């Protein structure tokens, strides 16, 4: 086996974008790396005008963050937990269906809602909904989803241009439909995403991926679930229909006027004091005495969760990011890094009517916690079961998962990637997305052959932070973490893995089914934006993510 340090050849090109903030450079000088704004900030830093806490922060944002936080709602005036009723996001209907394909309209819109009782909050939502509507699809039946960017030309307080790019996380999409960060759709433009829905049934999510502003865009509300079913998933006697529900976990800070406060703590992470489940603060859900299946997604920008039940009972994990696990796993504690999905069955039949079960958060390390962040939601047992269908968990769920069948002896290569903060920037093997931009999108950090099996070592050698590492295109099997087996709940197909302080996680994957350039990044979206993201090239050639299907100006033709 060969060891590859992971850095491919670098080509320098005429600069096109600012390396700090990513804005296009107008008429750049040959060696110019930054836009005038970032350049003057860098000069201030050199002169020592700004303290080290302001390192890499645009000047006006230092002032803005301090101001915004001073307007934050005091903890004592937040709603009491379990007083707001639970709800699931609505399911999106296609605008048109042919014998082969479903077409959806999913505009990015400014909208308002009463997220905290009595307060009006402006947010950005797909279809004006927070979080976005759930899309349901069947394996083998493609979806075409039109993203029309109807956001304002500039964010009202953060003062950036809200370009977007939409990633269907969990889908092996073609490069031009994968939400490639720099393939942006600007306000006033649209783009149709073609998602083939070829993989095994699973819980996916769609979210913004716009270069250098993903954290802010997602924080503003641009995320939703996408549920892909298949014959196996449908045939099992596990909970379906109204007993199979999304639990989208997010955190946020609100100002006294109801507006969302964005504070990324010097580009390290956004940590809210309000926990939202499907857009509701600490909701209470009425349940029957039976089993429920929850599609738990950590859609927070930076926060990780450590879920437990106050009853001390185990939860049964039946699915991971890439769908059903080979066998169910009972766990008392379930850790979710950003973007991780777990399908979790909770059995309320052991409880009497009138009892309440609380889903708690034993916060893992590296989060900023508040007195309000140790609970997530509550389940109130209100009635006997009204249906006995889908009320069991077979001992064998998915014995033929192609990912879990991979064996490390099939690997032809091992590559190592180190995730660390260097000179105020988050890097992968010292590299950043700004370098990818300045290479004209040619710099690649790895080049596995099409359908090659490889082991990737994802390392966080210096600690201080956890990095939820996401590799686009593929599913992987977790081999080990610091040489020890993965946790019981990680024993299924994954596409994000929690890499904790001083940990090295080895994952095994087959690189396909497409040739082309795909991203790998930390899914703490603040790290991703600044600038812990690189790309790898599978095979040779492949569709160009930037030019194969660019966004087009409005008006759009009929879908």
Could you list the residues that contact ligand C2O (CB under 6 A)? Answer: 167, 169, 207, 209, 339, 470, 472, 519, 521, 523
Q: How far is the CB of 206 from ligand C2O (least distance, A)?
A: 9
Could you say which of Cu ion, ligand C2O, none residue 519 binds, taking C-beta under 5 to 8 angstroms by partner kind?
ligand C2O
SS3 assignment, position 2 = strand
Output Rg (C-alpha) for the chain, integer angstroms.
23
Question: Given the rule CB under 5 A, which of 150-158, 298-306, 404-412, 462-470 is the region that contacts Cu ion?
Answer: 462-470
Among 127, 467, 494, 521, binds Cu ion (CB under 5 A): 467
Question: Taking a C-beta distance cutoff of 8 angstroms, is the pair 414, 455 a contact?
Answer: yes
SS3 assignment, position 317 = strand
Nearest to 40 by CA among 63, 17, 15, 57: 57
List CB contacts of 537: < 8 A, sequence separation 6 or more. 8, 444, 446, 447, 515, 516, 517
User: Which residue of the chain is nearest ligand C2O when measured via CB?
Assistant: 169
In angstroms, the CA 50 to CA 43 distance is 10
Q: How far is the CB of 69 from Cu ion (least distance, A)?
A: 23
Q: Which is nearer to ligand C2O, 238 or 469 (CB)?
A: 469
* The token pair that represents 300 in the structure block: 């927070």
Q: Is residue 522 near Cu ion by the rule CB under 5 A? A: yes
# of chain residues touching Cu ion (CB under 5 A): 6
Nearest to 535 by CA among 465, 470, 476: 470
Q: Which is nearer to Cu ion, 167 or 289 (CB)?
A: 167
Q: Which is nearer to ligand C2O, 467 or 521 (CB)?
A: 521
Q: How far is the CB of 67 from ligand C2O (least distance, A)?
A: 31
Q: How far is the CB of 416 from ligand C2O (least distance, A)?
A: 21
Query: What phi and psi, each to the nearest 5 degrees, are found at residue 241?
Result: 60, -130
Q: How would you class 357 by CB atoms within 10 Å of its CB: exposed for 0-12, middle for 13-18, buried for 19 or more?
A: buried
DSSP letter string over 502-540?
TEEEEEEEEE-S--EEEEEEESSHHHHHTT-EEEEEESS
Could you say which of Cu ion, ligand C2O, none residue 191 binds, taking C-beta under 5 to 8 angstroms by partner kind?
none
Q: Which is nearer to Cu ion, 202 or 472 (CB)?
A: 472
Task: Write down how long the chain is.
Answer: 559
Q: Which is nearer to ligand C2O, 359 or 519 (CB)?
A: 519
Could you say which of ligand C2O, Cu ion, none residue 296 binds, taking C-beta under 5 to 8 angstroms by partner kind?
none
Q: How far is CA 253 from CA 73, 227, 263, 330, 360, in A?
A: 8, 28, 8, 33, 19
Q: Which is nearer to ligand C2O, 236 or 270 (CB)?
A: 270
Q: How far is CA 357 from CA 40, 280, 382, 392, 518, in A?
A: 54, 18, 12, 20, 42
Q: Is residue 517 near Cu ion by the rule CB under 5 A? A: no
Q: Is residue 530 near Cu ion by the rule CB under 5 A? A: no
Q: Is residue 472 near Cu ion by the rule CB under 5 A? A: yes
Find the Cα–Cα–Cα–Cα dihedral 231, 235, 237, 240, rounded to 10°: 50
Q: Is residue 523 near Cu ion by the rule CB under 5 A? A: no
Could you say which of Cu ion, ligand C2O, none residue 209 binds, taking C-beta under 5 to 8 angstroms by partner kind?
ligand C2O
Q: Which is nearer to Cu ion, 64 or 472 (CB)?
A: 472
Could you say which of Cu ion, ligand C2O, none residue 467 binds, taking C-beta under 5 to 8 angstroms by partner kind?
Cu ion
Among 41, 139, 169, 293, binds Cu ion (CB under 5 A): 169
Residues that bind Cu ion (CB under 5 A): 169, 467, 472, 522, 524, 527
């Amino acid at each position: 086996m060969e060891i590859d340090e992971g850095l491919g050849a670098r080509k320098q090109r005429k600069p096109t974008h600012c390396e700090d903030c990513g804005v296009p450079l107008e008429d750049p000088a040959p060696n110019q790396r930054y836009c005038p704004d970032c350049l003057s900030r860098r000069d201030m830093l050199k002169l020592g005008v700004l303290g080290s806490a302001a390192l890499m922060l645009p000047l006006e944002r230092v002032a803005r963050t301090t101001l915004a936080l001073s307007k934050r709602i005091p903890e004592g005036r937040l709603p009491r937990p379990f007083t707001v009723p639970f709800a699931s996001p609505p399911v999106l209907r296609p605008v048109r269906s042919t014998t082969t394909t479903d077409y959806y309209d999913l505009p990015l819109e400014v909208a308002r809602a009463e997220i905290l009782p009595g307060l009006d909050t402006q947010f950005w939502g797909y279809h004006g909904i927070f979080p976005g509507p759930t899309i349901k699809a069947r394996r083998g039946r493609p979806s075409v989803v039109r993203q029309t960017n109807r956001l304002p030309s500039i964010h009202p307080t953060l003062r950036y241009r809200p370009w977007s790019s939409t990633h269907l996380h969990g889908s092996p999409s073609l490069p031009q439909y994968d939400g490639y960060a720099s393939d942006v759709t600007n306000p006033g433009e649209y783009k149709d995403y073609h998602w083939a829905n070829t993989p095994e049934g699973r819980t996916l999510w769609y979210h913004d991926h716009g270069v250098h502003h993903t954290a802010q865009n997602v924080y503003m509300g641009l995320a939703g679930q996408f549920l892909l079913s298949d014959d196996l998933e449908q045939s099992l006697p596990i909970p379906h229909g109204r007993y199979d529900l999304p639990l989208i976990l997010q955190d946020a800070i609100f100002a006294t006027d109801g507006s969302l406060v964005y504070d990324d703590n010097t580009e390290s992470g956004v940590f809210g004091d309000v926990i939202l489940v499907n857009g509701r603060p600490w909701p209470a859900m009425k349940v029957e005495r039976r089993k429920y299946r929850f599609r738990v997604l950590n859609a927070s920008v930076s926060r990780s969760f450590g879920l437990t039940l106050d009853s001390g009972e185990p939860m049964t994990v039946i699915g991971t990011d890439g769908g059903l696990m080979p066998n169910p796993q009972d766990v008392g504690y379930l850790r979710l890094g950003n973007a991780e999905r777990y399908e979790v069955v909770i059995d309320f039949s052991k409880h009497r009517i009138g009892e309440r079960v609380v889903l708690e958060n034993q916060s893992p390390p590296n989060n900023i916690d508040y007195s309000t962040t140790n609970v997530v939601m509550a389940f109130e047992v209100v009635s006997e079961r009204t249906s006995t269908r889908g009320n069991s968990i077979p001992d064998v769920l998915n014995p033929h998962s192609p990912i879990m069948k991979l064996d490390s002896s099939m690997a032809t290569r091992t590559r190592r990637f180190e995730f660390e903060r260097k000179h105020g920037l988050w890097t992968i093997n010292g590299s950043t997305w700004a370098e990818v931009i300045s290479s004209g999108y040619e710099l690649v950090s790895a080049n596995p052959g099409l359908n090659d099996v490889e082991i990737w070592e994802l390392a966080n050698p210096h600690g201080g932070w956890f990095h939820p590492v996401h590799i686009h295109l593929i599913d992987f099997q977790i081999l080990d973490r610091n040489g020890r087996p993965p946790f019981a709940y990680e024993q299924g197909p994954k596409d994000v893995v929690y890499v904790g302080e001083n940990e090295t996680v080895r994952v095994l994957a087959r690189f396909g089914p497409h040739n082309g350039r795909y991203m790998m990044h930390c899914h703490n979206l603040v790290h991703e934006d600044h600038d812990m993201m690189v790309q790898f090239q599978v095979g040779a050639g492949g569709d160009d993510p930037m030019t194969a299907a660019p966004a087009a100006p409005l008006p759009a033709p009929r879908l």
